[in-house]
Amino acid sequence: MFSRERIQLKTPDQVRHMRRAGLVVAQMHAALREAVAPGVTTAELDAVAAEVISRCGARSNFLGYHGYPATVCVSVNEEVVHGIPGTRRLRAGDLVTFDCGAYVVDREGTQWHGDAAFTTVVGGTYRDPLDDLLDTTTHEALWAAVAAVATAVQGGASVRRGRLNVVGDAVEGVVEQVAENHGHRLGILRDYVGHGIGTQMHMPPDVLNYSVSRRGPRLRPGMVLAIEPMLTAGQPQVRELDDGWTVVTCDGSRAAQWEHTVAVLPAGVWVLTAPDGGAQGLEPFGLAPVVLA
């Protein structure tokens, strides 16, 4: 199951189990999109996500993880990641990121995990054009990175040559293009990155959101990656609050995160946490997901 780099490689059947978990996460996203509104507390939204997991017969992979006390991470405005749900009431114009996870258990008792995040604006109207630019760019960076992986592995033989570095190159390329077009450079977090996922929520390899000169691991069929660009409207430096979880920008600028769990297959990718497998997100790049029956 593991390569020499200790990266877990999944069989097609195992990828199908991860698709089950991914669809639970997708249902969590749908329920949260419907429930988020001015005046709702972040704890009430956590309860919405917990109900979906229970109804689907899955389990939370966030609750209790290293002591984390909730089902989802709800990060508001300058909170980048790992925001703990509580009594805070959302206001119109707040920029909110929901990071969600769940796992299912196969007949052998093995856990298979899904993990995905999205950012939304409370009330449907951005407070500032920069919020719109930040959210839109982060979303574009996610799909550019997924498309870069798909392109690297498409055609079978190229999977031996493509490397994981394409993710960081794609994210940085989108951010650079936005800076050129709009005259504003968004920050790319370096302290928090994507990861492998499978029988655990966090596994090798690290999935960097920025370009590096060193050679990354080869993309191989059976790899499953949580690709999750995290951008800030200002500088990328962050700090952790006294609660031991919530990460905020040092300069108080707002942040956004978008994430999907993506399976690498011999002829492309399957976005396990997207209901359509990634069809809509990949279509602008002239690509289509590879779906296992």
Strand, coil or helix: what is 85?
A: coil
pLDDT(282) > 80: yes
b/e map 85-100, b = 16+ CB within 10 Å: beebebeebbbbbbbb
pLDDT band for 161, please (50, 70, 90 cuts): low
Q: What is the rounded average pLDDT for all residues in the chain?
A: 95
pLDDT band for 2, please (50, 70, 90 cuts): very low
Strand, coil or helix: what is 192?
A: coil
* Tens of pLDDT, residues 88-136: 999 999 999 999 999 999 999 999 999 999 999 999 999 999 999 999 9
pLDDT band for 154, please (50, 70, 90 cuts): confident
pLDDT band for 179, please (50, 70, 90 cuts): very high
Q: Which two tokens stand for residue 19?
A: 């698709």
Residue whose structure tokens are 């997924």: 146
> Mean of the pLDDT values across residues 270-289?
98
Looking at per-residue pLDDT, the higher value among 162 and 111 belongs to 111
For residue 103, the cross-strand partners are: 59, 113
* Tens of pLDDT, residues 11-52: 999 999 999 999 999 999 999 999 999 999 999 999 999 999
Alpha carbons 239 and 251: distance in angstroms, whole number: 10
pLDDT(160) > 70: no
Q: Which span out of 65-69, 211-215, 289-293 was modeled with the highest average pLDDT? A: 65-69
> Would you state the pLDDT for residue 158?
43
> Would you state the pLDDT for residue 213?
84
> Would you state the pLDDT for residue 5?
56
- Neighbouring CB atoms inside 10 A of 245's CB total 18
Q: What percent of the chain has pLDDT over 90?
A: 93
Q: Which of 148, 165, 140 is nearest to 231 (CA)?
A: 140
pLDDT(1) > 60: no
